[in-house]
Amino acid sequence: MANKIDTKFTLQVKALLNKLYGRSVLKDSLLEQAIEFYEKQPFYQHKLDNLTQQINDLNTQNGDASAKRQLDKLEREYRDIKQEFKFESNDRYKYLYNICKEILSLTEGATFAETIRKSAQMLGTIQLLCPTAGKRVAEVNERSKPLYKSVLTLRLLDQLCIDQVMVANDGHVKSVLGALSGDAFKTMQEHDKDIHETFIENVKIPVIMASLLQDIGHFHPEAQRIVKGADGSLDPHRTLPVEERKALLQINYRETVKFLIDGIGAPIYVGNSKADRDKFNVAEHKKLIFIKHLLKSAIAPKLGVGNLIKVPQIYTSIILSTKDSYNYKLLPKVYQALNQNAERGACSPLVVDTLRKITGDFPQGFGVTFIPKDSDGKNGDHYEYAIVNQLYPKDPKHPLCRAATRGLTFISHGQDIEIVGEISLYNTDTAKKFAALSKDRLNEILEKLASNYQERKQLDLLPRCWHAGEFFGLPNHQKLWNKTG
C-alpha cells in the first residue's frame, strides 16, 4: 500500500512529535533546546562565577573612582548575562507551554466522552505511526514516548480526580478543586468553566510539563557518556549494568530538575501592575514547585502522587519499548509487568488498576485478529482484522475495536466491535480450536489478507495479532475514530 497524504489529525500528531523530540537543522524541538541548554549552561555559569569573584574582590577594596567604574561595568555585565539567560528560558517556557496547550486541544473535547474519544485517537495514531519491526523501532519509539506518556497521564489524572483518590488529595490540586465531588469533576467543563480553566492552568499544564520533561536529563552529556560510551560507539538502547543504571537515574533526575528550574523556570510577567505581577509570580512559583514535586516523588512514588507520572512512564516504556526484547505480540501482557512493579513496591497497585480500567489490556492502535460469527451465531471458518480504537473497555481483556476487514477484504468504514475471548485469536483456547482448520485453508486466508508474498512468508499461519501500520498508511484508513452508522 503506497503512502498517500495523511489526514489533518495525523499530520498534527506528526508535527507535535517533531516539536517534542524531533531532530532538524533548526535545532528548535524541546529535546534540542534541552541539549543546547546543557551545552551552554556550564559556559554561562563559568562566566557568572568569574564575574562574581571579580565583583567580590573589588567590593573588599576601598577603591578609587576607576575601581568604582570597573565595579559598575562588571555588575552591569553580570546583570546582562542573567537577563539574557532569563529571556532564553522564557522563550523555552513559552514553547513548552504552547505544546501543552496543543496537546490539550488535540486530546480534550467539550464533554468527558469526547475527551476519551480524542485521547484514544491520539494514542492509537502514535502507536500506528510507530514501526513494529525492523531497525527503526527503538529510534521512533524513543521519539514518540513523551507525547504518548503525557496523554496517558492526563487521562489518569482525570480518573483519579473522579475517583477522588491520591492526586485529588494532593495539597496543590485540592487548592484548585476545593470540595468538588468526583461526579462534579466529570462534568466540570460543561458546568463550571472557571474552575475548569483554573484546573487546566494550575494542574493539567504542570502535569503535562512534568510528564514531557521526566526523561530529558538523559540527554545531558554526562548521561550520554553512560548511554553511548565515552567514544559514542555503544548501542544507546542496550540493557545497562545495575551500577550504570543507578548513575543514569541520578543524573537524569538532577539534570531534568536543572533544566526545569534554570532552563525553563517561571515565565516573565507582562504588564504594569505591581499587585498583578506579585500575584502572577506567586502562582507561577507554586506551579514550578508542583512540577518539581511530581518529578521528585516519581523516583520512588510508593503510594504517593508521583505515581501519576511514574505508572504511565512504565506502561509507555513497554508499549513503545526501545529494547532489543521488544515484541509486538506481547504488548497486551503489559499489565503483568506493571503488576510485578506494584508488588515490588515500585508503584501503587491502585494507580496500576486505574490505568488498566482506562486502557484495558490491549493498547490503542493494536492489531487484533478475531473469528467473525456467521448468520447462525456460530464461529466462522476464517478470521478478520480489527484495530483497538476505544478506551474504557467493559472488560480489560475484551478490547473495543474498529473492524479493518470484512469477508477477508480490507475496508475503510468498518463497524465498532467488542472482541470477546471466545472470538479473539489472542485467547489461547480460541486459537487452539481454530488451529483445527487445514493448512491449505489457513494459507488461503493469509493470501487474501497479506499484501505480498514476502510478508506472507514471515507471518504466522495462525496470527494472534496483526501489524496494522501499513494499513494505516492510507488516509481513508486513518478515520478509525469517526462515528459509524
DSSP string, 165-232: -GGGGSHHHHHHHTT--HHHHHTHHHH-HHHHHHHIIIIIHHHHHHHHHTTGGGGSHHHHHHHH-TTS
Confidence of residue 179 (pLDDT cuts 50, 70, 90): confident
Residues 262, 92: contact at Cβ < 8 Å?
Answer: no
Confidence of residue 1 (pLDDT cuts 50, 70, 90): very low
- In this predicted structure, the answer to whether residue 454 has a pLDDT above a threshold of 60 is no
The per-residue pLDDT for 126 is 98
Element (DSSP H or E) covering residue 400: strand 400-403
Query: Region 294-302: what's the mean pLDDT?
Result: 94
The per-residue pLDDT for 457 is 54
The β-bridge partners of 384 are 370
Query: Region 42-62: what's the mean pLDDT?
Result: 90
Report domain extents, the chain.
8-98, 108-214+266-359, 367-478
For 214-245, what is each residue's pLDDT tens digit?
A: 999 999 999 999 999 999 999 999 999 999 99
Tell me the residue type at 97. Y
Question: How many Å apart are CA 106 and CA 101, to the nearest integer?
Answer: 9
Query: Region 263-285: what's the mean pLDDT?
Result: 96
The per-residue pLDDT for 459 is 63
Give the 3-state secondary structure of residue 106. Answer: helix
Query: Region 112-124: what's the mean pLDDT?
Result: 97
Instruction: Compute the mean pLDDT over every residue in the chain, rounded to the nearest whole number.
Output: 93
Give the 3-state secondary structure of residue 72. Answer: helix
The per-residue pLDDT for 414 is 93
Number of DSSP helices (H) and strands (E) in the chain, helices first? 20, 7
Give the 3-state secondary structure of residue 388. Answer: strand
Higher-confidence residue of 168 and 81: namely 81
Residues 435, 460: contact at Cβ < 8 Å?
Answer: no
Share of the chain above pLDDT 90, in %: 81
Residues 472, 1: contact at Cβ < 8 Å?
Answer: no
The per-residue pLDDT for 230 is 92
